[in-house]
A and B are shown apart, each in its own frame.
Chain A
Amino acid sequence: MSGATSTATGKEPVAVVGIGQTKHVAARRDVSIAGLVREAARRALDDAELDWPDIDAVVIGKAPDFFEGVMMPELYLADALGAVGKPMLRVHTAGSVGGSTALVATNLVAGRVHGTVLTLAYEKQSESNAMWGLSLPVPFQQPLLAGAGGFFAPHVRAYIRRTGAPGTVGSLVAYKDRRNALKNPYAHLHEHGITLEKVQASPMLWDPIRYSETCPSSDGACAMVLTDRAGAARSPRPPAWLHGGAMRSEPTLFAGKDLVSPQAGKDCAADVYRQAGVADPRRDIDAVEMYVPFSWYEPMWLENLGFAEEGEGWKLTESGVTELDGDLPVNMSGGVLSTNPIGASGMIRFAEAALQVRGQAGEHQVDGARRALGHAYGGGSQFFSMWLVGAAPPAS
């Protein structure tokens, strides 16, 4: 990073010792927003065998407030999250927010401001209609786009044109992720009868993106307990250790922007790999949870994150490398394609990466996963947040 003068910073190592999620569904009509977030927070505390008084601060994130119609909802959620009398921060960085929120919480521990921090992200999309919430009214945007798919489909077409990827690659991603979701009890979509033929026969929404290649709209929350070395020593279960974390942003639109493989994504990954001592991500990283809201983003991000050369990402997908039992499993949990409470989706990626290196991922566990990457992006492919977690404490 420009400007930094010292590498010997005396940063406190950060460990993930508690993870909690709600069962993600289309509509949680049985709970309020407060009830939803508390459920995930309580599960993260239970996982860490901690209680509310053990938490020093709360960092919460979600996507636009208009999704639920509550302005700055952290004010109303202070009680439900046991934050009364504590510091409470609210992060909003568009779709990357779940990841950014975890990284902001990480800094509180790494900078030795607090010992143990609760971080949480959520979206209760059934409170409104997210697709139209994402379609900005005139005068902010021309009335041509319907939801995020309308924005991203042209970039997928650009990817296909650039790389010559066969038109079936997107359906392979969707078929894999939906099958992985069957092994994840918290995933929203559990399509037991899923077949590749069904994916390929589903209606075309935004050419070339078919219905089964899009993310659902979910109600859900995800929480993590982050702590310092002393906290990790008390952890009843193996912690996941932070080896690197970074955020990068670039403008929405400008002449020369590469919407297929944005520079901010490349820079963010490079920063994380530098911190973690990763020379070859394909070799050094065992599993990846990346933000794939539309199937084609798997091969696109494989290239952007350095797992494949430019133009080669689709070959990893096509040859089965990214399957759960492949050489580089991607979205073992079922990913955003199976679960998408937008504000929480980034944190779920981060948390699922941590579950893998803790050996706590259950049926979708990758055997022997030692280092895993969590990735999130948002806005017009312009906001990126990533972390790399490991089973062993960081080297320095």
Chain B
Amino acid sequence: MPVPRPLRDIAVVAFAQSDHRRTSDELSEVEMLLPVLHRVLDRTGLRTGDIGFTCSGSTDYLAGRAFSFTMALDGVGAWPPISESHVEMDGAWALYEAWTKLLTGDADTALVYAYGKSSPGSVRDVLTRQLDPYYVAPLWPDSVALAALQAQALVDAGDTDEPALAAVASRSRRAATGNPHAQLRGPVPQGDYVVRPLRTGDCPPIGDGTAAVVLASGERARELCERPAWIRGIDHRIEAHGLGVRDLTDSPSTRLAAERAGAFDAPVDTAELHAPFSSQEVVLRRALRLDDSVEVNPSGGALAANPVMATGLIRIGEAADRIRRGDSDRALAHATSGPCLQQNLVAVLEGDPR
């Protein structure tokens, strides 16, 4: 049965992102963010004071200080005071919160942004702090090792092999040649094993970046954008934290979120997947029933640029931009969080019929 439509029609009307780079030593978070916020607002002609609700996503653990998001707020210019919130999650979930705010009718425009600077520390080690603090985190299993565990499970199950993973990696970086913001563009050697069976090429680049999106509802969206990307459905689900109780070759939370977002009600032509490791694209393609007719990660995806905490929001922004440009009529965007795809969000975006 088709999923009922949301209470109100809400669309992505603008998207902007930084150039994602290995380091941004010379820039603070707010300096990195400010030009992107200006660009996304310029695209709609809106100013901060016109925005009904603002929501951001970031994590103190990348910034290395408590309340890091409070400084980023300076980039918005929250004066006079604004209606604003923050999630300690990828910006895709900040977009979700903003979407619910627009659903209530309390606002009809929203600014959503996210940022992450991985360069000051070792993100591979930092992410171990997400794990069960009593039984798992003390062992410091790093993010590449956990992804490799998942990749090996896929290989053992006969779902993929190393050449297939290499093909995912090279296709992603090839696609990124058309994306001026991407960090890795064009051929990248598969390289040596980082953690078997994952090689350098199977892993995302480490880098810094920001992204911002403007949402608007109903007629306001049509005023602000020639071809809004309407959010036909959006849903997110979480799985158990313990890797031992999960089947790592599958992603039931992605499938359920996709069902609830109406992704299976009609075929999509484009999918932007948040798969930091090549092996995770294998899991997601199957959970989302994407066949070869669907263009997957035309932006290059997380394998081409992975500013942690913004990567998921960028997937929604990239999908929306393809609709705005007329390259897509119905696109799926996906975001993930946690070890081995623990938490997943799926949004279905559509352009007005042409």
Interface residues of A (CB under 8 A from B): 1-6, 9-11, 32-33, 63-79, 83-94, 100, 103-104, 107-108, 110-113, 133-134, 136-137, 140, 246-252, 254, 262-264, 267-268, 271, 379-380, 382-383
Cβ A78 vs Cβ B239 within 8 A: yes
C-alpha spacing A79/B246, complex, angstroms = 12
Residue of chain B at shortest CB distance from A380 = B70
Rounded to whole angstroms, the CA-CA distance of A237 and B242 in the bound complex is: 37
B103 / chain A contacts, CB cutoff of 8 Å:
107, 110-113
Which residues on the A side are within 8 Å of B108 (C-beta)?
3-6
The answer on a CB contact under 8 Å between B132 and A76 is: yes
CA distance A89 to B51 in the complex (A): 23
Partner of A89, one of B87, B109, B131, B338: B87
Q: How far is the CA of A330 from the CA of B268 in the complex (A)?
A: 55
Return A97 CB to nearest CB of chain B, in Å: 9
Question: Given A71-B126, A76-B132, A104-B97, are A3 and B51 neighbors across the interface (CB < 8 Å)?
Answer: yes
| Cβ contact within 8 Å between B85 and A65 | no
Chain B residue nearest in CB terms to A106: B104
* Residues from chain A with Cβ under 8 Å of B23 in the complex: none
Residue of A nearest to B89 (CB): A90
Contact of A86 among B53, B97, B238 (CB under 8 A): B238
Q: A104 to chain B: which residues have CB within 8 Å?
A: 85, 97, 100
Q: Looking at the complex, which of B59-67, B205-213, B313-321 is the stretch in contact with chain A?
A: B59-67
B79-A85 in contact (CB<8A)? no
Beyond known contacts A2-B49, A100-B85, A247-B85: 8 more, CB 8 A cutoff: A1-B83, A70-B130, A71-B130, A72-B61, A85-B239, A87-B237, A90-B88, A268-B81
Is the pair B109, A72 in contact by a Cβ cutoff of 8 Å? no
Residues of A within 8 A of B126 (CB): 71
Query: How far is B296's CA from A28's CA once the two chains are assembled, in angstroms?
Result: 49
Q: Tell me if B235 counts as interface (CB < 8 A to partner A).
A: yes
Contact B83 A247 (CB under 8 A): yes
In the assembled complex, B45 has its CB within 8 A of some CB on chain A: no
CB distance from B328 to the nearest CB of A (A): 25
Contact: A91 with B85, CB < 8 Å?
yes
A94 pairs with B70, CB closer than 8 A = yes
7 contacts between A and B (CB under 8 A): A10-B105, A65-B129, A248-B83, A251-B79, A252-B74, A379-B67, A379-B70
Complex CA distance for A4 and B78, rounded to whole angstroms: 18
How many positions in chain B have a CB within 8 Å of any CB in the partner chain? Answer: 70
Closest to A275 in B: B106
User: Can you name the residue of chain B whose Cβ is closest to the Cβ of A246?
Assistant: B83
Please state if A75 and B133 are interface contacts (CB–CB under 8 Å). Answer: no
Q: Which one of B97, B130, B253 contacts A76 once the chains associate, using CB atoms below 8 Å?
A: B130
- The reply to whether A251 and B241 contact each other, CB–CB distance below 8 Å, is no
Instruction: Give Cα A115 to B88, complex, Å.
Output: 24
Q: Which chain B residues border A133 with CB–CB below 8 Å?
A: 66
Residue of B nearest to A94 (CB): B67
Q: B73 contacts A64, CB within 8 Å? A: no
Contact code string B33-66 (vs A, CB < 8 Å = 1, else 0): 0000000000000000111111000011100011
- Cβ-neighbour of A140 out of B65, B78, B80, B132 (below 8 A): B65
Kindly provide the distance from the CB of A209 to the nearest chain B CB, expressed in whole angstroms: 21
Residue among A69, A83, A134 making CB contact with B129, cutoff 8 Å: A69
> Which residues on B sit within 8 Å (CB–CB) of A113?
6, 100, 103
* B238 and A87 contacting across the interface, CB-CB below 8 Å: yes
A93 pairs with B86, CB closer than 8 A:
yes
Closest Cβ of chain B: how far from A19's Cβ, in Å? 22
B294 within 8 Å of A (CB atoms) = no
B241-256: CB near A (< 8 Å → 1, else 0) gives: 1100000000011001
- Contact with A247, one of B51, B84, B220, B240 (Cβ below 8 angstroms): B84
Contact of B81 among A74, A76, A88, A263 (CB under 8 A): A263
A93 and B59 form a contact (CB under 8 A):
no
Are the CB atoms of A134 and B87 closer together than 8 Å? Answer: no
- Whether B60 and A65, one on each chain, are in contact in the complex, defined by CB atoms closer than 8 angstroms, is yes
The 3 closest A-B pairs by CB, nearest first: A9-B105, A111-B103, A64-B66
Q: How far is the CA of A298 from the CA of B19 in the complex (A)?
A: 47
